[in-house]
A and B are shown apart, each in its own frame.
Chain A
Amino acid sequence: MSSITLGRYTPRDTFIHRLDPRIKILSLILLMVAIFISYSTWEMTFIIGGILLVFIFLLAAISKTSFKSLFKSLRAMWFLIIFLLLINILVKPRNAVNIAFSIGSLDIYWESIFQSLKIILRLFLMITLTMILTTSTKPLDLTYALEWFMKPLKLIRFPTHEVAMTISIALRFIPTLLIEVERIMKAQTSRGVDFKHGKISSRFKAIISLIVPLFISSFQRAEELADSMEARGYNPKAKRTTYHKLHFAWNDLFALLLCTIFMAATIVFSAMDFTIKTPLFVPWLIIGICGVLFYLFGIGAENARRHKK
């Protein structure tokens, strides 16, 4: 169950929680691009990587995402990390020249280590960003944001409303079905089914005894839900009003601008081929000021709200 609770929405009242979900998704995309920009030198890669790391940690701090769960997600990736390290060490990079050390006849290059570190850093940043998004945004708000983004698809008769409704119902029923899973597991355990021990083949058979009743009851639920929605006048093709309104405010503009600047800066650095030899204070200054501003702003907004109360 712990893997399911990872990155779950936690209701809090922070600057990031209050942002428009559309802006949060856009910002996520912008920052993802910033993460995946590559540079010609390792120094630059890690400097920018470090700045992004600090910035994203700041975001996590502002949104009060628990750092413990962030590192838990890193721990869940241990297999991937070891796999990446092994592959990168065994396969010699094209331009590898600096040998770090040798094990017997196998030369380990600095480039291999850097390469795997880079990938791990990127993965970690990506996961952290996504977790900030999901812990600070209600799943339903994300659905509304997605529906908004899909609006242009209406022109080609794509059923945007139906898709959004389907997603929101799926989200609504996840806890209900989890409770159901628990109930069926208990019922089957009491009939002698063992889910936790035994050979893989017998455990697989045990899982079937869980899945079949779950499927049957889900279909029953779906049918009843459809009846009840229809009885309450739901007609996907008819005109409906919407209770939820997404509000775009000045703080959203601020967040969007900041992330755009961030992305633009990384692209510029990459394109202009900044190296460690170029005066570094320019990128440092821009990014540093952005980060500090954002942080101060977050704290300031927090304090202002507390004072109001």
Chain B
Amino acid sequence: MKIIEVNHLSYKYNETDVAINDVSFSIDAGKYVAIIGHNGSGKSTFAKLLMGLLEPNENSIKEFGITLDKKSVHELRNRMGIVFQNPDNQFVGATVRDDLAFGLENRCIKREDMDAIINEYAEKVNMVEFLDKEPENLSGGQKQRVAIAGVLSMNPEIVIFDEATAMLDPKGKREIRETILKMKRENPNMTILSITHDIEEAYQADEVIAFNDGKVVFQGKPEEVLKDEKQLQDIGLDIPFVVSLRNKLEARGIKVDGKTVEEVVEQL
């Protein structure tokens, strides 16, 4: 089933600044899709368009088979969630507890049910002991985990990560990646769109879509699309370390097909 259909989508901030230029593609339900591209390639704009935070051109986006417009935007938003890049700027509440409650309040969840939901989702991202902490006493990774819990607590069918790990230190990055993978394991039907610079992360996805100058350059399985070094360099990206390792081994006549460095080492 196609959960997101994009049809001749264009968006410009002003006459000269065209962010998205006539893009068409679709995403299947339940997939983990990585959207890659260098800075200013239009991928973040695309995320905001999907959430209805920016207004797309008419009939260009369909989510769950419903056309995104002014009337349907609230209903569609209720079925989706997004985690942004800056951990501070999406923390609304005074404490972790209040922040998780914020989304529930918006959904008109009954007061009596809130505590149970807050505890359940704080547990899922290992933040229970921090429930009464203020954001300034949390690390970036912890704040992002709160943001993820906030999104998950609303049972979304699509979750978008807009460079959610870009501002974190390596430890925070690892925490968030693990949280995303755990989330995917627990909800196999959830569609995940991860907008990322991190080519290694993209390599773990089910599908990769590459943006360049507001256009989709290619879409496909990571093994297929992430091996052409020249093509990736043309759009300002590197190929994953494993792929370059495998390419070099292949050049010396050694054939391996591991998906991670560990697997390649194992096979050698």
Where the two chains meet, the residues of A that have a C-beta atom closer than 8 Å to any C-beta of B are 138-140, 168-169, 171-172, 175-176, 179, 220-221, 224-225, 227-235, 238-245
In B222-250, the 8 Å CB interface with A consists of: none
Interface string of B82-113 (1 = CB under 8 A from A): 10101011111110001001111111111100
Q: How many residues of B contact A (CB 8 A)?
A: 37
In B44-96, the 8 Å CB interface with A consists of: 48, 51, 53, 74, 77-78, 80-82, 84, 86, 88-94
B154 at the interface (CB under 8 A from A): yes
Instruction: Check A233–B98 contact: CB distance below 8 A.
Output: no
Given contacts A232-B103, A240-B106, 12 further A-B contacts (CB under 8 A): A172-B94, A175-B136, A227-B48, A227-B84, A228-B89, A230-B77, A232-B150, A240-B105, A240-B108, A243-B101, A243-B105, A243-B111
Instruction: Check A233–B77 contact: CB distance below 8 A.
Output: yes
Minimal Cβ-Cβ distance residue in B for A173: B88
Complex: how many Å from CA A225 to CA B88?
9
In B114-133, the 8 Å CB interface with A consists of: 114
Instruction: Check B53–A227 contact: CB distance below 8 A.
Output: yes
| 24 A–B contacts, CB within 8 A, in A order | A139-B94, A169-B92, A172-B135, A175-B134, A176-B88, A179-B136, A220-B89, A221-B86, A224-B90, A228-B82, A229-B102, A230-B53, A233-B74, A233-B154, A234-B102, A240-B105, A240-B106, A241-B109, A241-B110, A241-B111, A242-B105, A243-B98, A243-B105, A243-B114
Complex: how many Å from CA A232 to CA B99?
11
Minimal Cβ-Cβ distance residue in A for B136: A175
Instruction: Check B102–A232 contact: CB distance below 8 A.
Output: yes
CB-CB under 8 A from B82, the residues of chain A are 228, 231
Complex: how many Å from CA A140 to CA B81?
26
Q: Residue B89 contacts which of A225, A230, A241 (CB distance < 8 angstroms)?
A: A225
Where the two chains meet, the residues of B that have a C-beta atom closer than 8 Å to any C-beta of A are 48, 51, 53, 74, 77-78, 80-82, 84, 86, 88-94, 98, 101-111, 114, 134-136, 150-151, 154
Complex: how many Å from CA A194 to CA B73?
50
* Minimum-distance CB pairs A-B, first 8: A243-B101, A228-B90, A233-B106, A224-B89, A175-B136, A140-B94, A232-B103, A231-B82
CB-CB under 8 A from A172, the residues of chain B are 91-94, 135
CB-CB under 8 A from A238, the residues of chain B are 106
Minimal Cβ-Cβ distance residue in A for B153: A232
**With contact pairs A176-B136, A231-B53, A232-B154 given, residues A241 and B105 touching in the complex (Cβ less than 8 Å):** yes
Complex: how many Å from CA A287 to CA B102?
45
Instruction: Check A225–B94 contact: CB distance below 8 A.
Output: no
Q: Chain A contact residues: over half helix, strand or loop, or mixed?
A: helix
Complex: how many Å from CA A225 to CA B92?
8
Minimal Cβ-Cβ distance residue in A for B85: A224
Complex: how many Å from CA A179 to CA B154?
31
Complex: how many Å from CA A244 to CA B86?
27
CB-CB under 8 A from A230, the residues of chain B are 53, 77
Question: What's the nearest-Cβ distance from chain A to residue B1, in Å?
Answer: 24
Complex: how many Å from CA A6 to CA B107?
38
CB-CB under 8 A from B154, the residues of chain A are 232-233
Question: What's the nearest-Cβ distance from chain B to residue A207, in Å?
Answer: 24
Instruction: Check A231–B77 contact: CB distance below 8 A.
Output: yes
CB-CB under 8 A from A171, the residues of chain B are 94
Instruction: Check A235–B48 contact: CB distance below 8 A.
Output: no
Complex: how many Å from CA A244 to CA B136?
21
**With contact pairs A172-B91, A224-B89, A225-B90 given, residues A235 and B111 touching in the complex (Cβ less than 8 Å):** no
CB-CB under 8 A from B51, the residues of chain A are 231
Question: What's the nearest-Cβ distance from chain B to residue A145, in Å?
Answer: 14
CB-CB under 8 A from A138, the residues of chain B are 94
CB-CB under 8 A from B91, the residues of chain A are 172
Instruction: Check B106–A235 contact: CB distance below 8 A.
Output: yes
Instruction: Check A233–B89 contact: CB distance below 8 A.
Output: no
CB-CB under 8 A from B134, the residues of chain A are 175
Minimal Cβ-Cβ distance residue in B for A232: B103
Instruction: Check B94–A234 contact: CB distance below 8 A.
Output: no
Complex: how many Å from CA A120 to CA B186?
65
Complex: how many Å from CA A281 to CA B88?
59
Complex: how many Å from CA A176 to CA B135?
8
Minimal Cβ-Cβ distance residue in B for A223: B89
Interface centre among A172, A175, A239 (most CB of B within 10 A): A172
Interface centre among B89, B93, B98 (most CB of A within 10 A): B89
Question: What's the nearest-Cβ distance from chain A to residue B92, in Å?
Answer: 6
Minimal Cβ-Cβ distance residue in B for A230: B53
Complex: how many Å from CA A211 to CA B15?
31
Instruction: Check A242–B111 contact: CB distance below 8 A.
Output: yes
Question: What's the nearest-Cβ distance from chain A to residue B36, in Å?
Answer: 22
Question: What's the nearest-Cβ distance from chain B to residue A216, in Å?
Answer: 14
CB-CB under 8 A from B101, the residues of chain A are 243
Complex: how many Å from CA A220 to CA B84?
13
Question: What's the nearest-Cβ distance from chain A to residue B224, in Å?
Answer: 32
Q: Residue B86 contacts which of A140, A224, A232, A235 (CB distance < 8 angstroms)?
A: A224
Complex: how many Å from CA A230 to CA B93?
14
CB-CB under 8 A from A227, the residues of chain B are 48, 53, 84
CB-CB under 8 A from A225, the residues of chain B are 89-90, 92
Minimal Cβ-Cβ distance residue in A for B77: A233
